[in-house]
Structure formats: C-alpha cells, structure tokens
Chain A
Amino acid sequence: MTIEIKTATLQPIRNTFANIERRFGDKPASRYQEATYDLQGETNFHYRPLWQPQYELNDKSRTQIKMEDWYDLKDPRQFYYGTYVQQRAKHQEATETNYSFFDKRGLTEHLPEEVKSHLITYLIPLRHVEHTANLNNMYGCAFGYGTAITQALLYNAMDRLGNAQYLSRIGLLLDGNSSESLATAKQEWLKNPAWQGMRALCEEMTTVEDWFEVFIAQDLVVDTLVFNLFYEQLDQKLAVMGGRDVALLTEFMQVWNKDSSRWLDSVLKTVASESEDNRALLEEWVQQWRVKTLAALRPVIAAMLDKGDALDIADALLEARLKKIGITR
C-alpha cells in the first residue's frame, strides 16, 4: 500500500447500516448483527408460491407461534457463516485425531464381538435419526421466519448430516471400509421390531406441517431423550461391556449436543416468555411428542440397555429442561 495513513483525519460518516442503527442505536455493530438482522425480505413479494398459494414466499403464518419480532430469536453463540464453520472446523480436527488414533491403535480389534454387534444394532442405526433431524431442521430453515432463527436451523441441519456421517464412519471402522456394517445396521433400522417405533416416529415427523412444531418435536423432545439414552446411558453400558474406547468416536456428538443445547434453550426461552399463548402451545406440542417418543423408544431401549429406569432417567432430564426453559411450570 502506497498511501500514507492519517487515520485521524478520516471520520466515518456512520457506524453501521441503518437497519442496525434503528435497532441498537448509532454505535459500532458486531459482525453477527450486520450479517443477521433484517436480511430476509419482508414485504412486496411479487408472486405467490405455486406450491403453497395460501402463503407469501416469506410468511409468518407458517407456524401458529407468534412473535412480535422474529429477530428476538438471536443465537447466543453469535454464529454467522464464518464463525460457524471455524468453530466446527476446530471441533472436527479434534475428532479426526480421535478417529485416526482409534484406527492406528487397531482399537477395533480390541473391541469384544458383543460390543461390535451392540454398536451395529443400536448405535449405527441412529444415523437414520440424524438424517431425519437434517430434514426437519432444513424444513424450519426453509419455512421459518427471520434470519436469526433460519440461519441457526441451517447450521443445525448441516451438523446433523455431519453427525450422521460420523456415525457412519464408526460403521466403516468396524467393517474395514466395506460398508457391510452400515448395510446390516440399515436392516436393523428397517426390519428389527425394536426399531420400528422410532422409524415410524421419524417418518411421521417429516409430514408435520407447522415448522415450529417440527422443531420442537425434533430438537427439543427427540434430541433430549435420544442424546441422553444413546450417548450417555449407552456409553456407560459400553464401558461396562469393554467398549470404553467407543467414547472417542462419539465425543463429537456429545460436545455438539452441549453447544446446540445452549442455543436451543435460549431461543425457546424467548419464545415461551413472549406470551402465554406461545408457552401453552409449546407445552401442548411437547406433551404430544413426548408421549409418542417415549412409546417409540421403549422397545429399542429395553433391548439396548438392561436398565428398567433408563427411559425415566431421560424423561426426568427432559422435564428439568422444560422447567428451565419455562415451558412447564
């Protein structure tokens, strides 16, 4: 650069974009703010969607939840694309180290056969649940309102594809990259009676119309129960069975769940405290999906964990979370 910089002589004429200034006052804004607020088109849409003529292209009434300002649903992680991918890249690097450690040390061979078959029957099929979560979060991303929530739903959807791929790679580690274990696990998912409740639940979730209901069913109810059962309670059982090392391979999902929960709790707290109508609706949805999900999980959990109270433990966790968020009192 050839110019001599005399920064003092250069006074900016404004601190940020006008829409940001209207929201937060005339002061410097963060990159998250500039890349989030008011990005989505609000008005003067030219044509109704051929595929949903009852709505505008961007339409608040695609859910029964009502918000005065959908941009209140900000992300406490302040993820915009750049911060999101950099955060996940760090995380995947650590995971890569775990997977190659597992591989190099030949830890697969040290796993008891019983553990391997347990993984193929119960853990690997979860990749299909993650795939469902990918669809459900994409659904909210496409039909949701306001960049604050829709971008976070997209990040979540891509994360779920990532989770499904890590689960698949556990299978590939077990079968030496032949994908036999994936094929077997898929048969479990498709045919094993213990899994059919969950499969039916996943299929049903993808036919629900209200995007916020889908979001509640998947990210709050199903995920709270599944993550506890499959990554905490199953993890403990695997350790007892001699499969402690598997924890290296599921660490990504565990860390991810913490990160994602922080966002989810904050968003839902805001929605629930917006109005009694919202809170009541959230509670109604939660109770419906909670009953269904517990019923769907019962057979597979009974077969996977020989602990009579496993579901109760997970459900108690959900209950505590609902109270913390302010959905139930």
Chain B
Amino acid sequence: MVAKKLNLKDKYRALTRDLDWDYDYADRKKAFPYEEFEGIKITDWSKWEDPFRLTMDAYWKYQAEKEKKLYAIFDAFSQNNGHLNVSDARYVNAIKVFLTGVSPLEYQAFQGYAHVGRQFGGAGARVACQMQSIDELRHVQTQIHAMSHYNKFFDGFQDWTHMHDRVWYLSVPKSFFDDARSAGPFEFLIAISFSFEYVLTNLLFVPFMSGAAHNGDMATCTFGFSAQSDEARHMTLGLEIIKFLLEQHEDNVPIVQKWIDKWFWRGTRLLAIVAMMMDYMLPNKVMSWKEAWEVYFEDAGGALFKDLARYGIRMPKFVETTAKEKEHISHQAWWIFYTHGHAAGFHTSIPSAEEMDWLSEKYPDTFDKYYRPRWELAKEMEDRGERFYTNGLPQLCTTCQIPMGFTEMDDPTQIAYRSSDFEGEKYHFCSDGCKHIFDEEPEKYVQSWLPVHQIYQGNCGGADVETVLREYYKMNLGEDNMDFKGSPDEKRWNEWKSKGVA
C-alpha cells in the first residue's frame, strides 16, 4: 500500500512542532517555567494554528534575496551621496528620532521574541516567535546600516544607543518596551504582536516610510518596504495569539481584555512622537496625523474589534479619548519639544507660513483656534532674536513618561493632571489612561526610571541641565541640539546647495 502524502499543513507540523516531545525524565515545568503565573489557561497547545509556514531553507533563501537587493541600494546610496536628494535638511531630524527612538525597540523586540521563542511550551508558537526574533534583529541592523551614511553628514545620529538608555524623551519608547519585556510571555505577545504589530503598526511604519518616500530618502524608504514583508508575518502572529488565547479558555478573556486596554493606551502615547513627526517634521507632508489615525485605527481597528466581539472582547478603554486627541496631540507634543529644544538631540523649528496653512486646512476645528497663535507668538520672539526655550525641567507622567504637557481634551487650554497615592507617595499622570494603567499595577510603575527625577537626585552626572546633556547624554552641545535655524546641519546643507551639489 502506498502511504498517503502529507499536505502542506501537516508537512510543516512534521518539520516544526513534531520535533518536540512529552518529557519523561525532567520536569517540563522547570524547562518552561513562565507559562502559568499570568493566570492564562492553555489547555491544548496542539490547537495552535501556525500563522505562516516557512521552513528554514526557504527563510534563508527569501531573506537573502531581500538583503542582496537592500544592500545594493545602500551601497549605491552612499556612493552617490544620496543624502543630498532629501527634500530639506530639516527632514533628517525625523530619522534621527527614528534611529534613537525606534531602532532600539527593534532590538528589544529581537530580545523579547527570543525570550518567548524559548519559553513557550508549544513548539508551533515558539518557532513563530523565533522567526520574528531574527526578523527584528534584521530590522535594527538594516536601520543602522541605512542611517550609517546619514551619520557621516549630519549631527545627532552618532550616539544613538548611548542616548536611548539615558535621554529624557527616549525613556518614553524605552519604558514602553521594558514594560512589555518585563511582563509575562502572554502579555508580551498581546502587547507587541497584537496591540502593536497588528493594531497600531501601520501608524508607525506607513508614516515613516511614506514620509521617507515623499522626502527623497531612498535609504529609509527601501529598508521600510523591505521590512514590510516581515511585518506581514508578524501581523499574522498577532492575530493567531489573540484567537488562540481566547479560544483556549473563557477565563482568558478578561485577562486579555485588560492587556488590550493597557497596551492600546500605552501604544497611543508612544505614537505621539509619530504624530508630531508627520505634522511638523516632514518638509513634504504625507497626510495629517488625524487622517492617519482615522484610516489606520478608526476604520481598520473598528472592523477588527467588531470581529473580536464574538469572543467577548470590546474596544479598548479610553478609545473615546483618542477620538478627541487626534485633533490635538501632534501640536501639543511638538510644542513640548520646541520649548525644550535645547535639551533635544535633534533640531526643532517653527512651522513655516505654508505649513501653518496646511495645518489649518487639516485641523479646521483646532489649529487656528488653539495652536496658530502660539506659533505666531514664537515666530515673533524668534524674529526679535529671542527664540523661546523653557527654563527648568518638566514633570513627567509616571506611566508614559511624556512631560505633562497634554491638555484636558474637552478644554485644550487646561493641562491635564491626574494623580494616585501609593504607599505614602504621590504619583502624577498625563491622562486617565495612564492613571488607570498605574492603578492596575502600581508595584510595577513605582519602579519607573523617570529621567527628570533622576537628574534631581543627582544620578545623571550633574545638577545643571547643561552638564547632564554634555556629560551624561554625550550630546555635542550647539551641534545636536537647539533650533534648526543656525545649526551646523543647516549650514552644511546650504554650503552643499551653494556648491550646486544638493
């Protein structure tokens, strides 16, 4: 009798999860110790549906083809001084934020997926996570290689990894990923695979990659598109983990919902940086943050949550607040950076007259009313030679670590303050969302390494801001920081232009 041939699905199983076996000699719980403490109930790992079927030989082959093309473009980019083709030197600040703020998260994703790629008891889930781990390593390394050329011609890229561990605003992305990695393995997947990669990733990647495309940045654009095909795989993992957990046991539903609430809010706060990048940092605009939020969250996310309703999952908490915030968040975030531009590792600037008109058009209900007057005042001061910088250090939200500069969404003239008491101490928050996250896990968030507190406590190498920036952050003062106007970046750019090379 001729034996039946395997179909593709069974073949993949034979080549992955069938490699594992039930232990008889050692305690399997000791080998996979972190599966139970979060309260998640897994009754049957064999119900895991492989989100994609890629054996290693195929993986090497496809990825090598992608790398070959990508590095050919990087090589051409640097040989031809591709940086001269960007729309304006101001644009480059957007990718400084990317390298210092986002690339280290790709690194943490590599670490986080390596951890769960070892710790899950189900081999199918492990292999999917391992592949994501190596993809994320790819992302950070290709980003470094894409930026390597920019680093040779612009300030602010040079100490990205040192800065990420220390600089005040970079604690926003760092704490986001530290939070996910320090959580249990299932929360990590809901946080990163589902809430971030599946629900919010388009709001990070599309803006940066289209921003790069619209602003003549071939290097960033190419790695972005090349990473897209990896992201497609990552998104299927995000969808599988949520379905798997919800189908495994009904007791998982409230736990998963709690995580979705938390990570949705944490994600929206992280994306404030993207919001200001889109609306203020791109000389050639792509779309407004508000439009991006509507397309990529409200429309796409709305459909997704409708689909998940059959499991008893509802829209994330505080989603109504985000519907109001989309009108304000980019303006408020950029104002925070503009006023603290002396302490930022990239250049800030006032939007030009045309840019302000674009903002008026995109934000008809809010820009002229609340934000234009502010920028016009800033412009007047700048024209008088009194470019405005805030003295002193801002108070930070204990949860998201963004300076307390966001307002009440029903009264954009009023800064929002929330607080909670825990073990005799008072903790401050920027929003109901951040307060709620703290209140659910105060023991975790009291540990936050808040950069401003740390400076005051003398843990950052000095008491005055300048010493901290120079010694502790290793910023090159007068080069990396301050306004774009008058910066060495601007000066060099103008020289290249006057010589007719740019």
Contacts and interface: CB of A to CB of B under 8 A. Distances in A.
Interface of A: 1, 3-7, 9-10, 12-19, 21, 31, 34-35, 38-51, 57-58, 80-82, 85-86, 88-93, 95-96, 127-128, 130-131, 134-135, 138-139, 141-143, 147, 150-151, 154-155, 157-159, 161-162, 164-166, 168-169, 172, 175-180, 182, 186, 189-190, 196, 199-200, 203-204, 206-207
A148 B492 CA distance: 36
Contact of B179 (A13, A47, A95, A134): A47
A182 B18 contact: yes
B73 interface: no
B84 interface: yes
Contacts of A82: 67, 70-71, 138, 141-142, 145
Contacts, number: 276
The secondary-structure label for the interface of chain A is: helix
B474 interface: yes
Contact of A199 (B25, B65, B126, B500): B25
Nearest to B28: A203
B388 to A, nearest CB: 29
A207 B501 contact: no
The residue among B60, B157, B492 with the most chain A CB atoms within 10 A of its own CB is B60
A165 B144 contact: no
Nearest to B451: A44
Interface string B257-300: 00000000000000000000000000000000000000000000
A196 B25 CA distance: 9
B57 A154 contact: no
Given A46-B174, A81-B138, A138 B60 contact: no
A92 B25 contact: no
21 contacts: A6-B501, A14-B151, A17-B158, A42-B165, A43-B165, A46-B178, A51-B33, A57-B181, A81-B137, A82-B70, A82-B141, A134-B130, A138-B118, A150-B114, A164-B15, A177-B5, A179-B6, A186-B21, A196-B25, A200-B26, A206-B31
B133 A39 contact: no
Most A Cβ at <10 Å: residue of B16, B57, B179: B57
A162 B57 contact: yes
Nearest to A41: B165
B114 A50 contact: no
Nearest to B496: A10
A179 B145 contact: no
A92 B182 contact: no
The interface size bin for chain B is 35 or more
Contact of B161 (A19, A48, A189): A19
Interface stretch (B312-320, B416-424, B442-450): B442-450
A88 B55 CA distance: 13
Given A5-B501, A41-B104, A142 B67 contact: no
Interface in B31-83: 31, 33-34, 37, 55-57, 59-61, 63-65, 67-68, 70-71, 80-81
Contact of B115 (A130, A142, A206): A142
Contacts of A18: 158-159, 162, 474
B107 A81 contact: no
A88 to B, nearest CB: 4
Contacts of A42: 165
Contacts of B23: 203
Nearest to A49: B182
A130 B19 CA distance: 9
Contacts of A31: 145, 148
Given A18-B159, A57-B178, A154-B137, A189 B25 contact: no
A301 B119 CA distance: 31
A88 B178 contact: no
Nearest to B111: A142
A16 B291 CA distance: 38
